[in-house]
Amino acid sequence: MSKKIRSNSDGIQFSIQSGCKSPSTTHTAKQILKSALQSVDSPYIAQLTSEKNWRKNYPFYFQEIVRSGIDSIHHPLCIAQHGLNVAKESFSFNRGEQHNTLNDAMHNFKGQPFEKFILKGTGSPTIEPWFIPYNGKKLQGEALIQQINLWEQQQIIEPSHAKALHLLTQHPEWFDLSKRTMVLFGAGSEAGPLSWLAKWRANIIAIDLPQTAIWEKITKVIQQGNATLIAPKIITENNQQQLGANLLTQTPEIANWLNTFTETLDLAGIAYLDGEKHVRVSIAMISIMEQVSLLKSDSSIMFMLTPTDIYAIPKSVVQSVQQRASQRSLFEKLLTKSIHNISLTNFFRPNTKQLIESDNGQQYGIADCMVIEQGPNYALAKRLQQWFAICARARGQKTVINIAPSTTTHSVVKNPILKAAFSGADLFKVETFNPETTNAIMAALWVHDLNNPESASNPETQLNHPLELIMENANHGGLWHVSYLARTALPFAAAYGWLKEKL
């Protein structure tokens, strides 16, 4: 089962199919989606298999995944299990000259080299009251309540999200995290909750790359607060301590180290990497979470999703979009229809949200907000996270998975098209958030979902449909209510944003 491989390909890698010299991310994605769709007898299997222009047409197949999931309350789990099973078989784990399947590596590698580095914050022991930094202001109290209501009124956030934020303002005691041990995969992430957990007395197990700059940032945040940092530490040959661990190359060891903790763990998969590495780091986080959950069934998991994806949505959102479309001015209707026709339907394609009947007797729609520029690897990585969340909740784990708003993080705005589109998003009544605003909201939502017994994250809470787990608490920035497919309006948002920046 082992063979010689290049020494620079250590860790989790896409498997190489028979007869090929290098792995194909397109082939892997197709195989994963094919298994998921076969499990629910989708009529598009042959079309998927023969698809020649995957880079352009992949959103169609992700939409079919969502549509098939809506059809029956039994489909989302079936889709998730079959998709994940193939995904786990689609990656190898390489070390030196040994080539293992990822599954074998996770089960057979028993050791771990890490010691615990512990750092306690020296800031005020008092828990800082929650607030949201927004447009240069520090929103608390009545100002925060008014802003939450305004976001809901403007359809930037869903009612369930507004309800959760209001509830957080009423329960300051929830922010005492001194009895929780929270694991952050990708702790230094720009959109992550580290800076807030550090103010709320949390016990934070931080996993991030063993790079000095990353750990200087993390330890500085901890020192200024009242939390406790626990990090993996290796003593090097020079008798120096090195903090950090690599999710891609030390995957089994990280799982083994986490299993040495006696505390209940809250596992947050927030690591991000560009391109195909994002798929690999997602399967790494999932593999570690699964391994830890085998021994710690009381652990919880957390992911943050992107609004630029394809989701099942409530009937009320479909009705809202239809109403908004009918209320457009005559000028907007004529202008967008003309551009739509001139572009051979490539621009301003209507976001026709037809209602789909589920076997639970209810109707749902689909919000297709996928943006081609983010690519099929990004779409696959986020879908794997959704699937794992659906499986985790089904087996009784507390599962926090919320849609975070479009955020001007460095990883996003380094793409000039996305940067300009974010700047011009208000043309379509869509709001993008600064990282500090998103951090405050999403950290608090995690606190809400861990503490509110009525949250969809609680497996004992009855849902009418498994996909309601992801509909709940959505902060899509208004994307769900736009009358056009996001990717067909993106060029105009980008042009508008570019002009705004220049003028």
212 and 293 in a single domain? The answer is yes
Q: How far apart are CA 464 and CA 217, in angstroms?
A: 43
The residues, any chain, with a CB within 8 Å of residue 491's CB and separated by 6 or more, are 347
User: Is 215 among the domain residues?
Assistant: yes
- CATH of residue 454's domain is 3.40.50.720
212 and 300 in a single domain? The answer is yes
pLDDT of residue 81: 98
Whether the predicted pLDDT of 415 surpasses 70:
no
The full 3-state SS of 392-446, as one line of letters, equals HHHCCCCEEEEECCCECCHHHHCCHHHHHHHHCHHHHCCCCECHHHHHHHHHHHH
Smallest CA-to-CA distance from 184 within 202, 205, 212 is with 205
* Boundaries of domain holding 296: 132-308+374-406+434-480
Which range has highest mean pLDDT (33-47, 314-328, 405-419)? Answer: 33-47
Q: Please name the residue ranges forming H helices in 72-140.
A: 75-89, 102-108
Render pLDDT for 104-113 as a digit per residue (tens, 0 to 9).
999 999 999 9
User: Is 348 among the domain residues?
Assistant: no
Whether the predicted pLDDT of 343 surpasses 90:
no
Which conformational region is residue 433 in: left (phi greater than 0), alpha (psi within -120 to 50 degrees), or beta?
beta
Please give the structure tokens belonging to residue 494.
Answer: 């980008």
Helix, strand, coil share (%) of the chain residues, nearest 5: 50, 15, 35
94 and 156 in a single domain? The answer is no
Render pLDDT for 119-168 as a digit per residue (tens, 0 to 9).
999 999 999 899 999 999 999 999 999 999 999 999 999 999 999 999 99
User: Is 213 among the domain residues?
Assistant: yes
Amino acid at 17: Q
Smallest CA-to-CA distance from 247 within 180, 181, 183, 182 is with 183
pLDDT of residue 89: 93
Quickly count: other Cβ atoms within 10 Å of residue 145's Cβ. Answer: 15
- pTM of the predicted model, to two decimals? 0.91
Per the structure, the count of domains in the chain is 2
149 and 180 in a single domain? The answer is yes
Within 285-386, strands assigned E span 300-305, 310-314, 356-357, 363-368
21 and 107 in a single domain? The answer is yes
Q: How far apart are CA 228 and CA 205, in angstroms?
A: 8
80 and 144 in a single domain? The answer is no
277 and 396 in a single domain? The answer is yes
Residues in a beta bridge with 13 = 92
245 and 170 in a single domain? The answer is yes
Render pLDDT for 455-498 as a digit per residue (tens, 0 to 9).
999 999 999 999 999 999 999 998 898 877 766 666 655 555 56
230 and 378 in a single domain? The answer is yes
Domain limit, last residue, from 111, 146, 164: 111
384 and 458 in a single domain? The answer is yes
